[in-house]
Amino acid sequence: MNTVDCIATKLDIREFSQENVSPSIISIILNSARYSGSGLNTQHWRFIVIKEKNNIKKLSEDSTSGQWIVGANFAIILLTDPNYGFHLLDAGRVIQNMQLSAWENGVGSGIYTGVRDEKMRTDFKIPSNLSISAVLGFGFPKKSITGKRKNRKPLSELAYNEVYGNSKNIT
Ligand SMILES: Cc1cc2nc3c(=O)[nH]c(=O)nc-3n(C[C@H](O)[C@H](O)[C@H](O)COP(=O)(O)O)c2cc1C
């Protein structure tokens, strides 16, 4: 799958099959995170990989907007350093790289940001100097998503030619 196809076909997945994701695919996903570029090359991100079912259940209980994580095969907690003003920009880049490399290998994923911060820090021993920027859940999709269309605005609404508001002759 080339990069554009990967971006164009990937959807966020919140229902997963029971099939295990292999350690080699998990390694590909983590290395895609590691290869990502960060502001000033600070690489301030840290990743907690959660595979044990009881810990995935805890993640679900600690979530306010991602209870679906309970069905994930594994999860990754993404921590970033809020002392860097660009830390959430870095978070977005690393999230996208992990999701795309998962999808290239047939593995679906979703993210959420709503967490019960204090409880989650206690449950996963997260230090106070790092932000819990997102949680990602991974697994093979339960249902086929082939042919499902993305709900996206047309380019004419999003991109302008030379000056803001001019949507003529963009491409
Ligand atoms: C910054 C950000 C925060 C998000 N937070 C949540 C969330 O809390 N819970 C959730 O289920 N999905 C969350 N999502 C996933 C979005 O809902 C999803 O990317 C969007 O609906 C597009 O999905 P699609 O690619 O499947 O069309 C978040 C995505 C982003 C980029």
User: pLDDT digits over 80-127, tens only?
Assistant: 999 999 999 999 999 999 999 999 999 999 999 999 999 999 999 999
Q: Residue 82: CB within 6 Å of ligand 1?
A: no
Q: Mean pLDDT lowest for which of 37-46, 52-61, 155-164?
A: 155-164
Q: How confident is the model at residue 170 (pLDDT cuts 50, 70, 90)?
A: confident
Please state the three-class secondary structure of the chain as a single string: CCHHHHHHHCCECCCECCCCCCHHHHHHHHHHHHHCCCHHHCCCCEEEEECCHHHHHHHHHCECCCHHHHHCCEEEEEEECCCCCCHHHHHHHHHHHHHHHHHHCCCEEEEECCECHHHHHHHHCCCCCCEEEEEEEEECECCCCCCCCCCCCCHHHHCCCCCCCCCCCCC
Centre of ligand 1 from the C-alpha of residue 63, in Å: 14
**Ranges of each domain in the chain:** 3-145
Assigned CATH for 3-145: 3.40.109.10
Q: What is the pTM of this model?
A: 0.96
Q: Residue 113: CB within 6 Å of ligand 1?
A: yes
Tell me the percentage of the chain whose pLDDT exceeds 90.
91
Query: What are the pLDDT digits (tens) for 42-62?
Result: 999 999 999 999 999 999 999
Mutate to test the pocket of ligand 1, among 13, 69, 112 (most ligand atoms within 8 A of CB): 112
- Residue 150 pLDDT: 87
Q: Residue 66: CB within 6 Å of ligand 1?
A: yes
Q: Residue 112: CB within 6 Å of ligand 1?
A: yes
